[in-house]
Structure 1
Amino acid sequence: MLTHETPRLRAAGRQRLLRALSGRLLAACFGAGVDSTAMLIALRLADLRPDVITFADVAAEKPETMAHLDRIGAILAKWGWPPITICRKVPLASTGYDDLYGNCIANQTLPSLAFGMKSCSIKWKQKPQDQVLKGSRSGPNAAPPHPIWIEAQQTGQRIVKLIGYDCGRADTRRSRNLPAADADFDYAYPLQILGWSRETCVEVITEVLGPDFVPIKSACFFCPASKIWELFWLAADHPDLLERALYLERNALTGKHSRFDEIEFGSSWEDLVRNADRFPSSNTTVGLGRNFSWNQWARVSGVVDDAFRVRRDATSRARFLASAGAGCGAGIPDDSRRGGRRSGRTAG
Structure 2
Amino acid sequence: MPLTHRQRHQLRAKLGDRLLAVCYGVGVDSTALLVALKLAGLRPRIITCADLNAEKRLTLDHLDQMQRILAQWGWPPVSMCRKKTLPGTGYDDLFGNCIANQTLPSLAFGMKSCSSKWKRIPQDQLIKGVKSGPNAAEPHPIWIEARRTGQRILKLIGYDCSPADIRRSRNLPEADADFDYEYPLQILGWMRADCIDIITEVLGADHVPVKSACFFCPATKQWELFWLAAHEPDLLERALFLERNALTGRHSRFDEVEFGASWEEMVRSADRFPSSNTTVGLGRNFAWNQWARINDVVDDAFRVKRGAADRARFLIMSDRLRGDDNARDARCVA
TM range (shorter): over 0.9
Gaps of 5+ in 1: 331-335
Query: What is the distance in 1 between the residues matched to 2:329 and 2:120?
Result: 31
The aligned amino acid for 2:160 is D
Q: Give the alignment partner of residue 221 of structure 1, picking from 215, 234, 247.
A: 215
| Contact 2:210/2:327 (8 A) holds in 1 | no
1:10-56 C-alpha deviation (Å, 9 max, x unpaired)? 01011111111100000000000000000000000001000000011
* Equivalent residue, structure 1, for 2:54: 60
Cα deviations by residue, 1:260-309 (Å, 9 ceiling, x for unpaired): 34444332222211234353222331100011000000000000000000
Is 1:337 aligned to residue 331 of structure 2? no
Distance 1:193 1:343 in 2: 29
> 1:11 maps to what in 2?
5
Q: Distance in 2 between matches of 1:343 and 1:197?
A: 20
- Whole-angstrom CA distance in 2 between matches of 1:142 and 1:253: 36
Report if aligned partners of 1:159, 1:184 keep a CA contact under 8 Å in 2: yes
Residues 104-131 of structure 1 show CA distances to partners (whole Å, capped at 9, x for unaligned) of 0001000000000000000000000001
Match of 2:63 among 43, 53, 69: 69
Matches within 5 A, 1:123-162: 123-162=117-156
> RMSD value over aligned CA atoms?
1.3
Compute the TM-score of the two structures, normalised by the length of structure 2: 0.97
Number of residue equivalences: 334
Conserved 8 A contact 1:237-1:344: no
Contact 1:278-1:296 at 8 Å conserved across structures: no
Given that residues 208 and 330 in structure 2 are in contact (C-alpha distance below 8 angstroms), is that contact kept between their aligned partners in structure 1?
no
CA contact (8 A) 1:259 1:285 kept: no
Match in the other structure for 1:333 = none
Q: CA deviation at 1:341?
A: 6.2
Taking the TM superposition and a 5 Å limit, the aligned residue runs for 1:1-348 are: 5-6=1-2, 9-277=3-271, 279-329=273-323, 336-339=325-328, 342-343=331-332
Within 1, Cα distance between the matches of 2:281 and 2:122?
28
Tell me, in whole angstroms, the C-alpha distance in 2 between the residues paired with 1:78 and 1:110: 41
Instruction: Give the % identical residues.
Output: 69
- Distance change >3 Å, CA 278–CA 225, structure 1 → 2: farther
Structure 2 unaligned regions, length at least 5: none
- Letter of the aligned partner of 2:81 in structure 1? C
Deviation at 1:344, TM superposition (A): 5.5
Counterpart residue identity of residue 227, structure 1: K
